[in-house]
Each structure stands twice: as structure tokens, then as C-alpha cells.
Amino acid sequence: MASMVDVSTILNPEGSSEVSPPERLRFLLQRLEGNSLLFQQNSLSERLLAMDEIDALAGGTASTMSEAAAFAEIERRALTLQHRLESANAELYQFIRTEIIGGHMQTILRWLDDLNPEAQNALPRPGLGFDARDDFMASLFQHSDPGDVSSLGSREMIAYQPTPVRHVLHLLKTVTLSDDDLFVDLGSGMGHVPLMMSMLAGVRSLGIEIEPAYVANAERCARTLQLENASFVAADARDADFSVGTIFYLYSPFTGSILKQVLRRLREQSLKRPIKVCSLGPCTCDLAKERWLKTSGPLDPNRITVFESQ
């Protein structure tokens, strides 16, 4: 009796569980190596997808000696292809950095649009989680490893985690900015938010961050990209200078008594001039309890909320 053949295995050997991982990787490499479009400058999303596909299949284990030798050869090919893809990306990122330095911010907006996996959604996906736009911005920023920075000094201080790019883009759309504004990120980490605000909206921005190694990284990036309107200071938000800010941003950088103290200081500023306070994460619920702050939009801790002082 003729054996039954699974047609999906023939059509898609890379995805079939009938085919061993080394064989699936070999099929994948065959398809990718023959695709010259992949190495054209503009094929960034295709390259990122290809790199993910290779990552998912590489690093498997062989069960026999001969399989191990064949696998080692396939893995070498995979590594060579990864390097080619990475250097095509590096060339593109360098080109985009030159565009930023030249003030051509439309280029970066076009790329962010192109990499948007949720183009059909009016609102960004709520909450945590990153997408290709986060990898893209991180590659442009080229932050170096800040080393061990585990001593925040208080359990009320929240460890570094960048705002996902989709929320920064939402913030840019939601908040009204003028030339007189100065955007202040309280607990700015490596500076993604101020850097993007200055880069994409041209607004002056300031990052206040307690960890000097993060500040050094943010400053280096602003210098390299010649973003003269973005500056950073290593300070505790409890006693940093707030007098210059008009729009303050908090991605839940601290809780409890520190948050209370900082909100008191923001309230004092609001008695001198109108200010806006934007938030993301659990601190949005604390801001909503402040009687001097009002929002006209929906109150959702998983997306950006913009409050105005009353």
C-alpha cells in the first residue's frame, strides 16, 4: 500500500514537525539565501523577520554524529547569513542617523509607519510588550551597556524599563505642544522619551534620572544625533529643578511617599503656571486622585493619559 504523504510538508518543509530542525533550517536558508531583495536597503522588515525565523530554528541539538556534522555546517551557513543581514541593517541605520543629523525627521517617521504591526488600530496596543519599532529605535540610539546599576536606594523607586515606542508615538499625537514648551521626563532612564520628543516634535526636552550611567548614555546619544534640544541631568526627582518644565511625563518611576512628594512639587509648579502631566502605568491611578489635575480623555493606566492642571 502506498504511504500517505503530508502535502503541507512538501509545500512548507520549514514549518513541518515531520522534518527535523536541522532540515527545516536548511530549507529556510535555501529560501533566504536565494532572495536578493532581502539585501536591498529598504527591506528592513523582511530582514527582521528573516532573522527571527533563523533564531527560532538555530541552536537545535543533533542525535547522531553524522547529524551533528551536518548540523554544524548548516549552523555556520545560518551565522554567515545572520551577519549579512545585520550588516545590511547597520548600513541602513547609519543612513537614517545621517538623516536625523540633517534634520530629515520624515525619514524616521516613514520607517516607524512601515514597521507598525498594528496599522489598522486607532489606539496602540495597551500595556507592556515591545515590537519591531522598539528594536528599530534602540538600533538608532546605540546605547551601550550601562553595567550593574542595581542600587536604586529605595523600594519605592522602580527599576528601568523603557516606554514602548508605540506609547511614545501615541503621546506625540495626544499632547498639544508649542515652541514654548519644555517636556520633562521624571525618571528618564536611557532617555528614549525625551530623545523621541525632541527628534520627532522638535520640542525642547529634559530627562531627570537618578542613575548617572543612564544619563551618560542618553547624553551620548543626544550628542551623536546632534539633538541639541534634548538635555539630561542626573538627579533625584524629589529635589531636581522643575521650574523650567511645562509638560511632565511619568512612566510610573516611583511609588508611595516619593510619588506623593513629587506630586506635591508639581502642584507647587502649577500654582505658578499651567502645566500638563502625562502618565503611563499604575501611577495614572494616583494622578487621577489629585484634585488639581483633570483629564478630558479616557483614564487608562495601560495607555498614555494627559492631565492638565486646574
Ligand X SMILES: C[S@@+](CC[C@H](N)C(=O)[O-])C[C@H]1O[C@@H](n2cnc3c(N)ncnc32)[C@H](O)[C@@H]1O
**Does the footprint of ligand X cover residue 187 (CB under 6 A)?**
yes
Residue (25 or 196) nearer to ligand X, CB: 196
Among 210, 278, 283, 293, binds ligand X (CB under 6 A): 210
**Does the footprint of ligand X cover residue 183 (CB under 6 A)?**
no
Q: Cβ 248 to ligand X, closest distance in Å?
A: 11
User: Do residues 262 and 254 lie in contact, with contact meaning Cβ atoms separated by under 8 Å?
Assistant: yes
| Closest residue to ligand X, based on beta-carbon distance | 187
Given the DSSP bridges, would you call strands 247-251 and 182-186 parallel, antiparallel or unpaired?
parallel
Segment 161 to 180, residues that bind ligand X, using CB under 6 A: 161-163
Question: In 3D, which of 249, 205, 207 has the Cα closest to residue 230?
Answer: 205
**Does the footprint of ligand X cover residue 214 (CB under 6 A)?**
yes
Among 137, 208, 247, 263, binds ligand X (CB under 6 A): 208
Among 27, 39, 93, 160, binds ligand X (CB under 6 A): 160
Beta-bridge mates of residue 182: 204
Strand (E) or helix (H) holding 171: helix 165-174
Which grid coordinates are listed for 190? Answer: 536611557
**Does the footprint of ligand X cover residue 205 (CB under 6 A)?**
no
**Does the footprint of ligand X cover residue 242 (CB under 6 A)?**
no
* Cα–Cα distance for residue pair 243/68, rounded to 1 Å: 65
User: Do residues 279 and 307 lie in contact, with contact meaning Cβ atoms separated by under 8 Å?
Assistant: yes
* Cα–Cα distance for residue pair 187/234, rounded to 1 Å: 9
Residue (193 or 277) nearer to ligand X, CB: 193
**Does the footprint of ligand X cover residue 189 (CB under 6 A)?**
yes
* Cα–Cα distance for residue pair 124/104, rounded to 1 Å: 25
Q: Cβ 226 to ligand X, closest distance in Å?
A: 21
Residue (173 or 291) nearer to ligand X, CB: 173
User: Do residues 203 and 197 lie in contact, with contact meaning Cβ atoms separated by under 8 Å?
Assistant: yes
- Given its phi and psi angles, is residue 24 left (phi above 0), alpha (psi -120 to 50 degrees) or beta? alpha
Q: In what order do the strands lie in the sheet with 182-186?
A: 230-234, 204-209, 182-186, 247-251, 276-280, 305-309, 293-294
Residue (258 or 263) nearer to ligand X, CB: 258
**Does the footprint of ligand X cover residue 115 (CB under 6 A)?**
no
Among 193, 247, 259, 306, binds ligand X (CB under 6 A): 193
Sole window of 35-43, 104-112, 205-213, 269-277 interacting with ligand X (rule: CB under 6 A): 205-213
The footprint of ligand X (CB under 6 A) covers: 152, 157-158, 160-163, 185, 187-189, 192-193, 208-211, 214, 236-238, 251-254, 258
